[in-house]
Amino acid sequence: MTLFRGSFLDTPDNPFSGGALRADSDHALLVEDGVITARGPYAELRGCHPGEEVLDLTGGLVLPGFVDTHVHFPQARVIGALGLPLLDWLERCALPEEARMAERSYAATVAADFVRGLASAGTTSALVFGAHFSPAVDALFTEAARVGLRVTSGLVVSDRRLRPELHTTPERAHGESLALAARWHGVGRSRYAVIPRFSLSCSDELLAACAAVVDEVPGAMVTSHVNENPREISAVGQLFEGSSYVETYARNGLVGPSTVLAHNVHPTDPELRLLAELDAGVAHCPTSNAALGSGLFPMARHLARGVRVALGSDVGAGTGFSLLKEGLQAYFGQQLLGELGHPLTAAHLLHLATAAGAEALGTADQVGDLSVGKRFDAQWLCPAEGSALEVGLAHAEEPAEALARAFALGTPADVRAVWVDGDLMDPGRADKEPDEPLAAVAG
Ligand SMILES: [Zn+2]
């Protein structure tokens, strides 16, 4: 057992339905076999457990681990290609790199960069777009398991309009998906996701093959893209004879409570109704939407219809792995929408980056906040002395102000340590970070 001591911030009560930020200074969490078994003021809990090891995380903020609901593993090395709209960016930047995933050894080195990028940014759970090649997806699962990341991922499938080497057939997609699921679904912290790339690159036959995999793999998730860019949306409408973008998935049985669709920047009202009815989640990816000029996310319309929303980094169109940055950009976007936007507080941002993500991934009973009974998936934000964030935190008058400063100024460099199930994640930063800050403090 370990007593984690620090200032803990989380959102067990949804701020979008009236809940407040929970902020407890000089508190402690008792963690036993990865589960939080007690929580209270440090002095009190220490008194009850005088013999337990103490990990002192005072001097920063302890937050739940982030849950990234949309991120592409093969794009870890192409972040930052600015200045193109979606379809041109795919053709010129993303797809050439995705084709390189055919080589397993290359994919394995990218998987290491990718998992390290997520873990270093405080992300402990992720719904990941895999690659178009089975061995590359296998490499991703292998690396995530090595580092300890909770990963839900799978084979990305397409059978038209990308590049020939990225195309498959419904039969091959079905067989390869089942083989990967048999190897990884429910093994350790890994789960399988069925991933048609987007309707633009998937025939009805391929989408039906995806649905068959969902039927054959109980507990599998489904993820794809929707309504990102007007040119893309109109091309999908033409291919599917006027079906709405959401319908192209729904009519093939791919939209339900275990579905997360990324973007949805330009939904129609009937599409929002359908998503709410089928209880699907939407991954809002604000830096990607801004970088590709896709548009400003209509969060208020989603919330008004009861559509669940969480955050995704959408690396590599997104501009980095940090959900602090995505939270800030989400806030900017809603501000820029004026009266049509949903005003966001720091508590909203934390909720979107943690508990809302856990809900989207169907793991809210285990992670997303730091309540008794939850797994200890957490991150310690502890900025370097003299940094703008350190100054900001030192002079914050209340926890919500400190949290807002963390979103405004925080970067992966401020994430000192990350735990999953109470175990320290080690994404290979050991040579860069001294061990002393994490040394257990006796007494
Ligand atoms: Zn994406």
Where does a domain end: 338, 360, 382?
Answer: 360
Q: Does 365 map to a domain?
A: no
d(Cα 38, Cα 30) in Å, to the nearest integer?
5
Q: What is the pLDDT of residue 439?
A: 43
Helix (H), strand (E) at residue 109 = helix 104-120
Range of the domain at 125: 66-360
Q: What is the pLDDT of residue 303?
A: 98
Q: What is the pLDDT of residue 431?
A: 42
Query: In this structure, are 315 and 374 located in the same domain?
Result: no
Query: In this structure, are 8 and 155 located in the same domain?
Result: no
Query: In this structure, are 338 and 195 located in the same domain?
Result: yes
Query: In this structure, are 148 and 290 located in the same domain?
Result: yes
Query: In this structure, are 57 and 70 located in the same domain?
Result: no
Q: What is the pLDDT of residue 432?
A: 44
Query: In this structure, are 216 and 160 located in the same domain?
Result: yes
Residue 6 β-bridge partners? 27
Q: Does 443 map to a domain?
A: no
Query: In this structure, are 299 and 152 located in the same domain?
Result: yes
- Expressed in angstroms and rounded, the spacing between residue 18 Cα and the centre of ligand 1 is 31
- Expressed in angstroms and rounded, the spacing between residue 148 Cα and the centre of ligand 1 is 23
Query: In this structure, are 52 and 137 located in the same domain?
Result: no
- Expressed in angstroms and rounded, the spacing between residue 36 Cα and the centre of ligand 1 is 34
- Expressed in angstroms and rounded, the spacing between residue 64 Cα and the centre of ligand 1 is 24
The pLDDT tens digits for 367-414 are 999 999 999 999 999 999 999 999 999 999 999 999 999 999 999 999
Where does a domain end: 330, 360, 390?
Answer: 360
Q: What is the pLDDT of residue 103?
A: 98
**Do 355 and 12 touch, CB atoms closer than 8 A?**
yes
- Expressed in angstroms and rounded, the spacing between residue 332 Cα and the centre of ligand 1 is 20
Three-state secondary structure string covering 240-300: CCCCCHHHHHHCCCCCCCCEEEEECCCCCHHHHHHHHHCCCEEEECHHHHHHCCCCCCCHH
Where does a domain end: 309, 338, 360?
Answer: 360
Output the tens digit of pLDDT for each of the chain's 443 residues.
Answer: 999 999 999 999 999 999 999 999 999 999 999 999 999 999 999 999 999 999 999 999 999 999 999 999 999 999 999 989 999 999 999 999 999 999 999 999 999 999 999 999 999 999 999 999 999 999 999 999 999 999 999 999 999 999 999 999 999 999 999 999 999 999 999 999 999 999 999 999 999 999 999 999 999 999 999 999 999 999 999 999 989 999 999 999 999 999 999 999 999 999 999 999 999 999 999 999 999 999 999 999 999 999 999 999 999 999 999 999 999 999 999 999 999 999 999 999 999 999 999 999 999 999 999 999 999 999 999 999 999 999 999 999 999 999 999 999 999 999 999 999 999 998 764 344 444 445 444 33
Counting the structural domains of the chain, the total is 2
DSSP 3-state assignment of 226? strand
**Residue 433's CATH number:** 2.30.40.10
Query: In this structure, are 293 and 353 located in the same domain?
Result: yes
- Expressed in angstroms and rounded, the spacing between residue 122 Cα and the centre of ligand 1 is 20
